[in-house]
Amino acid sequence: MQQLGLMKTRDERWTNRRPERAEILERRLGDAIYEAELRLQQTAEKALQRLDHTRERVRKKLQNLEKHAVRASAPVALRIEQRVAELRTDFAEREKTLEAVFEIKKQGPRPSPRH
């Protein structure tokens, strides 16, 4: 089908367009990565807001339990205080774990295992 050598074969056209196609695909991939990072950032911000709200609710509930312990009889007050202490310890451990997770998040993504 080549007339006087002016028409390129399909393979030649494909070979010549590879760099262009690679650039287009690279741009699309970059855009997709950027959009995914934005969505992840928004999700992280919402999670932090929910976490702050939950922390405040837990603190208020613990304060209410402590107020009840003051008004309760000695054995009941002791049980309430013990339970509040357990909850505070558990809460502190969970916060420490979450802080570690957010610290890892701040460090950025890990490199791909393929590289």
Summarize pLDDT for 45-77 with one digit per residue, the tens: 888 888 889 889 999 999 998 898 899 899 999
Is the pLDDT at 92 greater than 70, yes or no?
A: yes
Residue 38 CA: distances (Å) to CA of 57, 95, 102, 112: 29, 25, 17, 19
Q: Say if residues 63 and 88 touch (Cβ distance below 8 Å).
A: no
Secondary structure (3-state) at 97 = helix
| 4 φ/ψ sector (left φ>0, alpha ψ -120 to 50, else beta) | left
pLDDT at residue number 115: 44
Q: Say if residues 9 and 2 touch (Cβ distance below 8 Å).
A: yes
> What is the pTM assigned to this prediction?
0.57
